[in-house]
């Protein structure tokens, strides 16, 4: 099921446009959690490392792959955790107590 390069380029282009549109509407209030969230999503790169390690094609690849999995998983777990912590802190105005 290998797609040809042009298909991938189309997808990349469309994803960039979607990215611009979606991110534009993120409130500046949330720019910090946005960055930690996009970083956690980026760690999807772990799937490439997983295949690399799972296939066991060479020791070199396996070693690099395991380090890559560790680095990416740290981002996934830590990234979602800290983004959630940050978002929990944002509260709206409570009515001022007399």
Residues 39-58 that bind other proteins (CB under 8 A): 39-58
Establish if 93 lies at the interface with other proteins (CB under 8 A): yes
Reduced 3-state DSSP string for the chain: CCCCHHHHHHHHHHHHHHHHHHHHCCCHHHHHHHHHHHHHHHHHHHHHHHHHHHHCCCHHHHHHHHHHHHHHHHHHHHHHHHHHHHHHHCCCCCCCCC
Establish if 22 lies at the interface with other proteins (CB under 8 A): yes
Establish if 59 lies at the interface with other proteins (CB under 8 A): no
Establish if 20 lies at the interface with other proteins (CB under 8 A): yes
Q: How many residues bind other proteins (CB under 8 A)?
A: 86
């Amino acid at each position: 099921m290998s797609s040809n390069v042009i298909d991938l380029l189309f997808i990349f282009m469309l994803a960039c446009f979607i990215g611009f549109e979606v991110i534009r509407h993120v409130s500046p209030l949330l720019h910090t959690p946005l960055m930690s969230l996009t970083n956690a999503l980026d760690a999807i790169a772990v799937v490439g490392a997983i295949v690399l390690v799972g296939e066991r094609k060479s020791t070199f690849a396996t070693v690099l792959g395991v380090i890559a999995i560790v680095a990416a998983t740290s981002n996934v777990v830590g990234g979602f955790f800290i983004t959630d912590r940050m978002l929990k802190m944002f509260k709206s105005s409570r009515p001022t107590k007399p």
